[in-house]
Structure 1
Amino acid sequence: MDAFKDRIIQEWGGVNFSFFNESIWSSSLQQKDLARVRGFLINSGISNVDISLVIPPDSSTSRQRWSKYYDPSGQCVSSLVEEPIPGGSNNIKFTFCYSSVEDRQDGQTQELHTVNILRLIFGVPIARELLLTRSFSNNTCQPISHSEKGFASYFDTQNLNFFNDPDIEKARIRQLPPESTILLDKAFSQIFPIERFVLMWSAFEAVISSLPIPGNNGDKRKKYFNNELGSQIINNEVFRLHRIRCDIFKEGKFSGDQIEKDCWSLYAALQLAILEDSEQRQAFTRGYEKALSSDD
């Protein structure tokens, strides 16, 4: 690994690259086809990445995974668990090269783009599962390795909704379209909030589309939150979330620091969208409005 790092610094440092992000994925790619994949990247204008195959000789290299569980009090606990990478396993390594720290920090979108266009063109098994990431530069002797990200999200630390007056267990919900429940199941299992937001928004749109309100989804959102719920505050927030959706879907832009809070806000909008008119829906509405007002 250190010899590889030295080679990368020597080869890419000569063309003004000094900072590097490395990721290793399980892969079925064979050595004989590696040159074709490199050619595709060059033809696609992606010129700041080095790719290679790595096959560990034994199982002494480990990946670190976060295990989350709840103690008897309901407190979320996270702990790192080491999982050996099988000896003889076939893996692909991407090393993205940048000229500055700022470029490296902004490079996440490009890295995801590169991996996923390869999956679309050559097949998903070319980079099936992320095993390990690390970063280094030509000014550091030792690279910094990273496990998968294991932060506790709002959904891990959320207080359960057991309110009274009105009793929450008497809440009535709409008949949800099947696709929305599938999307929500996938969303809540995501580690990364940007992926969670995309899946949650798709589920939200499916729920909104199923509402017995005339018009397109934009009209339905406004009529539901502004007119039926009578909340201009929430309607404005849903419109803000829609703009975030447009930035992500159309331009690939999102705020890394804010997106987790946006997921939480979208979750609250989803709660209101699935509830029938009731005291419980009014309570959720008041709580959402209060939370939005306190953020101003």
Structure 2
Amino acid sequence: MALGLSMALVAGLSGPTLAAPTLSAQSIIVNPVQTTVDVKVWTDRDTSGTGTPSYAPGDKIRLYASVSQDAYVYLFNVDPNGQVDLILPNRYQGGANFLKANAVKVFPAAGDPFTFDIAAPYGLNKVLALASKTELNLSQIATFKSGQNSFADVNVKGQQGLAQALSIVVTPVPQNTWDSATAFYGVVARRAAVPALPAQPGNPWGNARKWQVVVGVPSDLRALHDSYAARLKAEGYVQTKLKIKTNEIQSGYRRGDDEAELKVERKNKGVEIKLERD
């Protein structure tokens, strides 16, 4: 992982009418009846399963799932562009998807020959866990390459397509024997590191009245500005003004009769920091 028409489910003419699975924009697919299986899914950065933790490209992610009764668990990831990946089951080591009651499945587990590395697109990802007391037939959704260890090729596109396909898959099983849960995580751009300043008590400008430097990384301007402003405040200056623009931050300071002005400005080759005191 680098990472329509709604279906009505109806029994035979002589049988009772079944409630159709709910296709949900938030949770993808939900069982509308009370179920005997309780499935949970979460990420390694949010054990509650209710938050939306952030990951940057290159980060590694682990997924967890548990069930209240013995069940087959199917994990899907849907990215912001609608790409669907079947995570579990798979044909790698540890890729079996039958879980015992109250056991926790971590994926990938220690010893698995792969990792899940976060990659673009940026935005919200959804991890759907679908648990069933009986094995489900996903042949119309995903296929495995013959004779190879691999993840399956998924034949459906988009969250709506997955939800509709799964609503058909769960039709043959007793309604109270399957459950679903959804966990969320965001893929965000990695923030550039703010260059470290010399340790106290020294300041990079020493006793100079005019001082400037160009930083060669396009850092977060506010974080960069605040790191230098903290040095002025440590010298006893009090901030008197602050102007924030898209590519420039200016601030003023006073210490008794002394005044200082700090300017942090994005340039073509980096970020320029200037300090003037009088």
Q: Please indicate the TM-score interval, normalised by the length of the shorter structure.
A: under 0.3
Comparing both structures, which one devotes a greater share of its residues to helix? 1
Higher radius of gyration, 1 or 2: 2
Comparing both structures, which one devotes a greater share of its residues to strand? 2
